Amino acid sequence: QKVADSTECGTTAAIASTVPATSAELPKHVPYLLIGGGTAGFSAFRAIKSNDPRAKVLMITNESRKPYMRPPLSKELWYSAEKGEVTKDYRFKQWTGAERSLFFEPEEFFVDPTKLMETVNGGIAVAQGFTVKKIDPAKHIVTLADGYEITYDECLIATGCAPKSLDVFAQATPGVKEKVMVYRSPDDFERLKRYADEKKSITIVGNGFTGSELACSLANYAKDKKVKIYQIFPESGNMSKVLPTYLSNWTTAKVESMGVCVMPETSIKNAQRDEAALKLVLNNGKSLLTDVVVVCVGCEPNTSIALTSGLEVDKSLGGFVVNAELEARRNLFVAGDASCFYDPLLGRRRVEHHDHSVVSGRLAGENMVGKKKAYNHQSMFWSDLGPEVGYEGIGLVDASLRTVGVFALPTSNPEPRTDNLTETAVMEGGGSGSTVTVNPETPDVKCDPKDADEYGRGVIFYMKDDKIVGILLWNLFNRIGLARTIINQNKKYDDLNEVAKLFEIHA
């Protein structure tokens, strides 16, 4: 199994000279085996290495790249692209101003997989372009697609998830299909950038994280180009599964003001090839000619190896069922999007966000070196509508729950952003032991969101059984530790306005 250079979409990523031509060149046995080359897998490696400095770690990924992070692909990378600054290693400028690459480490950091077992100091070797088909948890054997077997002492499944498509496209002709894409990788970024540079119309389907972030980023990228950006979804507003209706409506208006033609309550009935373009027949009887459709309608965890390996998948949430230590079987762990874990506070969950991948990957890595820790950390997520509007969330941030929002009017003095991509930032603050005290010095804040003409800064509480189970911080940064503390307290508050004061939204 040889890794092909991924030039199909014009990517500039280099393929390491250390990629073995066949699986036979891979080690027969490794102490630590990581399946999946994403954030959760790499985070596990870092935890293993810091606890076992000479650890020999083999990562197997069916991608043709070294481990990289995904969040900038729908956000900052487009702003660097606009300035013509995208480099071979996908460097980008964070909203904080700091510059970094999508890749966690440069090529030189990695050990040649064929030499991993001979190295004295250990390290991580990445077997790129290899797919795992089966695990034998009892015998500790991982089998690759070509039948090659590798035995392990400790193994992690960090296979992430794969974007879904829509039936209307899955059953379409090849001519239609070649105009439809999903969005998750640097190849997808390259392909979409080419469309934005050359074509007249791009249609995004879906109102969730990818669809809404990408719509804003593309609109900014395309502002001096001829391409028009459409966003279609059946719901009434952007991010309607996450934001309360008033904020979802506000967000939709904001996305429109950025130049996106947003079409809520719209779905695609039929898609036909119309010479060079695609003709989408919509539920409202209208049709839309577009050069490409980007389907962003959620993703499904990659659990195909569960059946061949005798592992349990959660029937309603998806993902491999794991215990509190993130173990599916003895010495076999699961982290990231693919892990369905038990949260002692909020029940069984599966979380699809970067920070969860970092934190669960780290905990799995620690347990792979024998720490025996339980996963009870509340991970967070963040999203934005370009550089001006950003939000962070923690716990059950679910628009179907009752919410209470407290906002301050916008000021001309925006808050400095959190740097969520550095590993230390995501862990700081919080802890279940602290108690919340109300600061009486803080001035009164608005309690009814309808009073706010504009949603400048604010905090939204998501309520279940009169307890706060989720918190969203709107244009309010560096306070996620406090939000975590409040959720961990798991108690009823008489006056949420008093709790809101703790967030110093007027500060």
User: Binder to ligand NAD among 35, 58, 176, 340 (CB under 6 A)?
Assistant: 35
Nearest to 114 by CA among 23, 225, 12: 23
Give the interface segment with ligand NAD, choosing from 23-31, 209-217, 219-227, 317-325 (CB under 6 A): 209-217
Number of residues that bind ligand NAD (CB under 6 A): 50
Q: Rule CB under 6 A: choose which of 341, 381, 391, 455 binds ligand NAD.
A: 381
From the list 35, 30, 2, the residue with the least C-alpha distance to 309 is 35
Q: How far is the CB of 454 from ligand NAD (least distance, A)?
A: 23
Q: Taking CB under 6 A as the rule, does residue 303 contact ligand NAD?
A: no
In the complex, minimum distance from the CB of residue 486 to ligand NAD, in angstroms, rounded to a whole number: 21
**Is the CB of 145 or the CB of 276 nearer to ligand NAD?**
145
* Cα angle 69, 72, 76; round to 5: 155
The least CB distance from residue 44 to ligand NAD, in Å, is: 9
Shortest distance (Å) from residue 364 CB to ligand NAD:
11
Site string for ligand NAD, 230-249 (x = CB under 6 A): ---xxx-----x--------
Question: Looking at 34, 58, 124, 132, which residue binds ligand NAD (CB under 6 A)?
Answer: 132
Report the C-alpha gap between 477 and 283 in whole angstroms. 40
Question: Rounded to an integer, what distance in angstroms lies between the CA atom of residue 394 and that of residue 424?
Answer: 17
- From the list 14, 43, 309, the residue with the least C-alpha distance to 158 is 43
CA angle 370, 159, 15 (to 5 degrees): 105
Q: Rule CB under 6 A: say whether 357 interacts with ligand NAD.
A: yes
Nearest to 317 by CA among 351, 342, 345, 350: 350
Within 37-76, the residues that bind ligand NAD by CB under 6 A are 37-41, 60-63, 70-71, 73-74
Q: How far is the CB of 491 from ligand NAD (least distance, A)?
A: 28
483 contacts ligand NAD (rule: CB under 6 A): no
Q: Residue 87 Cβ, how far from ligand NAD at the closest point, in Å?
A: 19
End-to-end CA gap in the chain: 58
| Closer to ligand NAD by Cβ: residue 291 or 392 | 392
- Residues 498 and 443: their CA atoms lie apart, in Å, by 10
Residue 107 in tokens = 């090529």
Q: Tell whether residue 20 is a contact of ligand NAD (CB under 6 A).
A: no
Q: How far is the CB of 268 from ligand NAD (least distance, A)?
A: 8
Among 209, 250, 341, 474, binds ligand NAD (CB under 6 A): 209
Bridge partners of 302, per DSSP, are none
**What's the CA gap between 320 and 301, in Å, rounded?**
9
In the complex, the smallest distance separating the C-beta of residue 105 from ligand NAD, rounded to whole angstroms, is 15
Residue 159 touches ligand NAD, criterion: CB under 6 A: yes
Segment near ligand NAD (CB under 6 A); pick from 204-212, 215-223, 427-435, 441-449: 204-212
Taking the CA atoms of 112, 117, 123 and 128 in sequence, report the sign of the dihedral they define.
positive
Tokens encoding 476: 């309010």
How many other CB atoms sit within 10 Å of the CB of residue 360? 29
Q: Is 478 within 8 Å of 418 (Cβ atoms)?
A: yes
Q: Annotate each residue in 180-199 with x if it binds ligand NAD (CB under 6 A) or - if it does not, as one string.
A: ----x---------------
Single residue of 44, 55, 156, 158 touching ligand NAD by CB under 6 A: 158
Q: Applying CB under 6 A, does 319 fall inside the site for ligand NAD? A: no
Q: Hey, what amino acid is at 403?
A: T
Of 187, 213, 291, 366, the one binding ligand NAD (CB under 6 A) is 213
Q: How far is Cα of residue 499 from the mean position of the Cα atoms in its chain?
A: 29
- The 74-113 site mask, x for binding ligand NAD (CB under 6 A), equals x---------------------------------------
Nearer residue to ligand NAD within complex by CB, 122 or 301: 301
Interatomic CA distance for residues 4 and 37, integer angstroms: 17
CA separation for the pair 442, 503 (Å, rounded):
10
CB 298 within 8 A of CB 206: yes
Q: How far is CA 378 from the centre of its chain?
A: 16
Residue 87 DSSP one-character state: -
Whichever of 267 and 434 has its CB closer to ligand NAD, that residue is: 267
> Which one, 145 or 507, has the nearer CB to ligand NAD?
145
Tell whether residue 305 is a contact of ligand NAD (CB under 6 A): yes
Among 156, 204, 296, 502, binds ligand NAD (CB under 6 A): 296
What is the identity of the amino acid at 380?
M
Yes or no: say if 125 and 112 are a contact pair by the CB < 8 Å rule: yes
Mapped onto helix, strand or coil, the DSSP state of residue 333 is: strand
Footprint of ligand NAD on 413-472 (CB under 6 A): none
Quick one: which of 266, 255, 179 has its CA closest to 217? 255
CA distances from 55 to 42, 95, 372 (A): 14, 35, 18
Please identify the residue of the shown chain whose CB is closest to the bound ligand NAD: 208
Summarize as ranges the residues that interact with ligand NAD (CB under 6 A). 35-41, 60-63, 70-71, 73-74, 131-132, 158-160, 166, 184, 205-211, 213, 233-235, 241, 296-299, 302, 305, 336-337, 352-354, 356-357, 381-383
